[in-house]
């Protein structure tokens, strides 16, 4: 079984996304959170599946989930999720 670790910042990102979407639609927030968490589990099993993002940080990769990007680093036995951000944000400024 692959391992998925979340940084404190990634956990905060996920909660902020959930709260924002839940303001309009609680069910949609639950669905998206499920998609993000399932994607992280799948990525953990294949850490090189995402796009290399060396321009942002060493060993960083990203994987899209709807309008969001999961930023992670491969670690022994899985991944460490660094951030989860909306694709329209100023990504370089956040790294």
The rounded distance, in Å, linking the Cα atoms of 77 and 57 is 21
The rounded distance, in Å, linking the Cα atoms of 79 and 16 is 21
According to CATH, the superfamily of the domain at 3-94 is RelE-like (3.30.2310.20)
Task: Output the pLDDT for position 1.
Answer: 57
The two beta strands, 78-86 and 3-6, are parallel
Tens of pLDDT along the chain (95 residues)?
A: 579 999 999 999 999 999 999 999 999 999 999 999 999 999 999 999 899 999 999 999 999 999 999 999 999 999 999 999 999 999 999 88
Q: Measured between alpha carbons, how far apart are the two ends of the chain, in Å?
A: 30
The rounded distance, in Å, linking the Cα atoms of 91 and 4 is 22
The rounded distance, in Å, linking the Cα atoms of 79 and 32 is 20
């Amino acid at each position: 079984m692959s391992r998925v670790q979340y940084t404190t910042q990634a956990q905060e990102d996920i909660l902020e996304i959930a709260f924002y979407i839940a303001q309009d639609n609680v069910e949609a927030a639950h669905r998206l959170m499920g998609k993000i968490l399932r994607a992280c589990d799948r990525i953990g099993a294949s850490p090189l599946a995402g796009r290399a993002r060396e321009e942002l940080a060493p060993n960083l990769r990203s994987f899209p989930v709807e309008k969001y990007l999961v930023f992670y680093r491969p670690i022994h036995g899985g991944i460490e999720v660094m951030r989860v951000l909306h694709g329209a944000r100023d990504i370089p400024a956040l790294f």
